[in-house]
Structures are given as C-alpha cells and as structure tokens.
Amino acid sequence: MTVMSPPETLHHLQEGNRRFVEGRCSRNVSQGHHGCAEAFQGRAPLAIVLGCSDSRVPLELIFDQEFGDLFLIRVAGSVAAPSQLGSIEFAVQRFDTPLVVVLGHTRCGAVEATLEQALSSSQDCPPNLGVISDLIKPSVDSVLKMRHGANREILLDEAVRANTSATVERLPSASEMLADRQSKGRLAVVGAHYSLQTGTVEFF
C-alpha cells in the first residue's frame, strides 16, 4: 500500500469502520499464519491506535484492517503513561507512521472505576492500578465539577470523552518528537470514541 498522508489515513480508517458497521468487512483471516507472514514482508503500519484493553473492543476488526496494518497499544483506560508514550514514539520514528488514534469507548471499566472512587471518596486502589487511575482522575474531576448532579451514565460517557481528549493533548505536549512532526504536518493525533452498542467510531 502506498504511503498516505495523515488525512488520507484517517479517511481510510473511517471507511474501514463504516464497512464493519454495515457488516461487509473485507478483512481476511482465513489464510492462517503462512499468508500473514507473507503479507508482513516490507510492510509498515498505517496508523497507531492507543486503545483500551477491554476485550469488547477488537481494534483490527472495528477498523476492518488486515494483520500488520495497525500498530496497537492497549492499556486500561487508553491512557498514556511513559511506556505507552515511548511505544508511540518508537512506531513514529521507526515506521514514519502518519496517524495516532486515541480510542476510548462506551462503558469503559477503568474510567468507571475512577469515577466510582471519586464519587465515594475511596482511596482503596492497588498501587499499580493507581498509576492508571491517577491519569484518568483529572478528567473525571473536571466532568464532576461541570456536570454536578447528572446521572452516572451521563457522567461516565462524558468522563470517557474527556479522558480521551486529555490523552490526545498529552501526547505532543509530552514528546518533542511528536510535537515536531505534528507541526510539520507529518503526523496527526486524533481522538475517537467507539460505541459498544452500534460499532461506530466517532472521530473528534
């Protein structure tokens, strides 16, 4: 596949998601390992997706992409701790990948757990899990402040979106390399929201 610009790559993923939603996926996994190994020769990922670890969000499937098309980074809450940031820098530097998608999704368990902690003022959280919660908490706190009194379903949806947006902002601000490529038009960093109910990915 020819090298695409950031907007072209984004459009490619949007079209893939449209096929997924409409039930006309072109992705072929029936060839097994041998066919996949042949396809990998000289192939670079089209896009980087920083997505949630949730098993209900199969990243290649929802974008209708073949094995090798996406550089996938999965972590609860789609957060960008140093290891995730370093993984993104690696892919951008190694493959000159033009697009990073930060993908949140409806009913995200990591965001919901952080929201429940904030509502109950609980501090009961294992230290390693706390690293993830600490990155999500500012988004949860901002939503609680702006939407005081809203029901939990609304709070959760808005907190997921706020967390995704915060991660999108964090990536170039925490990486000179990403910021430089973004300023030169060689890289785009976008947020997206996946609906478990409809299968649709909304980019923003």
Instruction: Name the least confident of 87-101, 140-154, 168-182.
Output: 140-154
* Mean residue pLDDT across the chain: 92
Does residue 1 carry a pLDDT above 80? no
Looking at residues 180-196, what average pLDDT do you find? 98
Q: Is the dihedral of CA 60, 195, 203, 162 positive or negative?
A: negative
Confidence of residue 2 (pLDDT cuts 50, 70, 90): low
| pLDDT tens-digit map of 21-31 | 999 998 665 55
What pLDDT sits at residue 3?
A: 75
**Highest mean pLDDT pick, 22-31, 62-71, 193-202:** 193-202
What pLDDT sits at residue 40?
A: 58
Q: In this prediction, what percent of the chain has a pLDDT beyond 90?
A: 80
What pLDDT sits at residue 42?
A: 59
Does residue 33 carry a pLDDT above 70? no
What pLDDT sits at residue 195?
A: 98
Cα 32 versus chain centre, distance: 27
Is residue 92 within 8 Å of residue 48, measured between CB atoms? Answer: yes
What pLDDT sits at residue 180?
A: 98
- Per domain, the residue ranges of the chain are 6-203
What pLDDT sits at residue 84?
A: 97
| pLDDT tens-digit map of 105-162 | 999 999 999 999 999 977 777 888 899 999 999 999 999 999 888 899 999 999 999 9
What pLDDT sits at residue 49?
A: 98
Q: In this prediction, what percent of the chain has a pLDDT beyond 70?
A: 91
What pLDDT sits at residue 152?
A: 93
Backbone φ, ψ for residue 128 (5° rounding) = -70, -40
Long-range Cβ pairs for the range 52-55 (8 Å, 24+): 52/76, 52/77, 52/78, 52/103, 52/104, 52/105, 52/108, 52/110, 54/105, 54/108, 54/109
Q: Does domain 6-203 have CATH number 3.30.1330.10?
A: no
What pLDDT sits at residue 157?
A: 97
